[in-house]
Amino acid sequence: MSKEITQPDGTCHVVITGGAGFLGVRLARSLLTQGQLSLAGAAPANIARITLVDRAAPPDDVMADPRVTALTGDLNSLLEQKEAPALVVTGQTAIVFHLAAAVSGECEVDFDLGMRSNFAATLALLEACRALQTKPIVVFASSLAVFGDTAAQPLPAVIEDNTLPTPQSSYGIQKFIGEQLVADYTRKGFVQGRNVRLMTVSVRPGRPNGAASSFLSGMLREPLAGVRAVCPVAPDTPVALSSPARTVQGLILAAEASEQAWGPRTGLNLPALTTTPGEMAAALERVAGPAATALIDWTPDPAISNIVKTWPARIHSVRARGLGLLPEESFEDIIREYIRETPSAVVLGNRSQ
C-alpha cells in the first residue's frame, strides 16, 4: 500500500492545507523534527518534502528548512489548476493533512464562503487525490463543532464515540459532510481517509479573536504576558480542551495508525480534558503566581456565557484511548507547555518562581 505512495527511494512527500495556520505550522514543525512518517502503519519513510498550501506565507523558520516548499493562494483556485507547479497534490503526494477551513464565525456570516472554503474545497481535494490513482492518505481535520449545541438540540451529558452529531452551525454541517465524503472516498478505495475531530485548543498563541472561545486561551495567554484578560463565564462552567501539542499528536497518529488499528471511517473524537475556568485560573496561579491570576477580570458576559454553556464539555474518547491518545491530566501541564514554548510568557512565569 505504502509502496505506491512513497518515492522510489523510500521517502515521502507531505502536503498540509492551511499549512501557514497555527496548527499547520505546528504540524509541519513536528514532522520536520521527527523526520519520518509511518504511513498508515508501514515502515517509517523519511519525509523528503512538505508542501504548505495556504493563502498566507508560512513563517521564515519553517521555510528555511530545505524540505519545505510553500504553495500560496486560494485553495479552491489552486485545485482548479491542471498543471505544475501550482498543483496541490501530485503523483508524488503520499499524504495530505487537510486543515484549511473558513472558521465557524465566518461561515455563519457568509454561508457561500463556508460552502466554498469548507465543502467545495474538500470535495475538489478528494477528487484531485482520486485522480492520482495512488490512494494517498487524507487526514481530514473535522471538529467537535459537528455535535452542535445543547440549546438547539439536547445532547447526551457525555459525548461518546457513537454519539449522533447534530450540527447547529454551517461550519459544523460542512465538517460533518466532509467526514462523509472522506469516508466514502475511502470505502471506494480512492484515498486512505482518516476523519479526526479536533477539540477546542488552548492555549492558542497570538491575539484574541472574535470567537466565543477566545477567552479560553486569552485568560491564560494575556496574564502570562502581563496583560489583563477577561473571563466572561462563571468559574464553574465546564469546558473541554486540548493542548496544541496533543492536537498535533492526534493528527500524526491518524496518519500513522494502520487501517486495522484506526478502525471505522466514522470521525474519531480526539481526547479532551474537562476543566473549568476556575480550575484553569487555579492552575495558572500554581504555575505563574497570584500576580498572573490578578490580571483576570471575572466579568460575566451573558451572550458569551450562554453560548459556552451549550458546548459539549465531556468527551469520552474510548477509540482514541485505544490508539494511545489520552487527554492531558491537568491544565497545569498545558500551561507549563505553553510557557516552555512562548518566550514572552517566560518572563512572568519566572517572576513567580
Decide whether 175 or 246 has the Cβ nearer to a copy of itself.
175
Select the span of 48-56, 162-170, 220-228, 246-254 touching a copy of itself (CB under 8 A).
162-170
Select the span of 14-22, 172-180, 236-244, 327-335 touching a copy of itself (CB under 8 A).
172-180
Distance of CA 257 to the CA centre of its chain: 18
**Of 140, 147, 176, 331, which lies in the binding site for a copy of itself, with binding defined by CB under 8 A?**
176
167 vs 154: CA distance, rounded Å: 12
Contact of 97 with 139, CB cutoff 8 Å? yes
- Contact between 166 and a copy of itself by CB under 8 A: the answer reads yes
293 vs 229: CA distance, rounded Å: 9
- Whether the bond between 14 and the residue before it is cis, its omega within 30 degrees of 0, is no
- Contact between 158 and a copy of itself by CB under 8 A: the answer reads no
Phi, psi dihedrals of residue 274, rounded to the nearest 5°: -90, 120
Contact of 313 with 221, CB cutoff 8 Å? no
Q: Is 171 a catalytic residue?
A: yes
* Shortest CB 135 distance to a copy of itself, Å: 15
19 vs 99: CA distance, rounded Å: 7
* Shortest CB 183 distance to a copy of itself, Å: 7
Residue 333 sits at the vertex; the CA angle it makes with 220 and 217, to the nearest 5 degrees, is 25
**Of 57, 65, 111, 303, which lies in the binding site for a copy of itself, with binding defined by CB under 8 A?**
111
Decide whether 46 or 163 has the Cβ nearer to a copy of itself.
163
The site that binds a copy of itself (CB under 8 A) totals a number of residues, namely: 22
Q: Which of residues 124-143 bind a copy of itself (CB under 8 A)?
A: none
- Contact between 187 and a copy of itself by CB under 8 A: the answer reads yes
Task: Mention every residue, 6+ apart, whose C-beta is less than 8 A from residue 100.
Answer: 17, 18, 21, 24, 53, 54, 75, 117, 121
**Of 34, 180, 209, 350, which lies in the binding site for a copy of itself, with binding defined by CB under 8 A?**
180
Residues interacting with a copy of itself, by CB under 8 A? 111, 153, 162-168, 170, 173, 176-177, 180-181, 183-184, 187-188, 264-266
**Residues with catalytic annotation?**
171
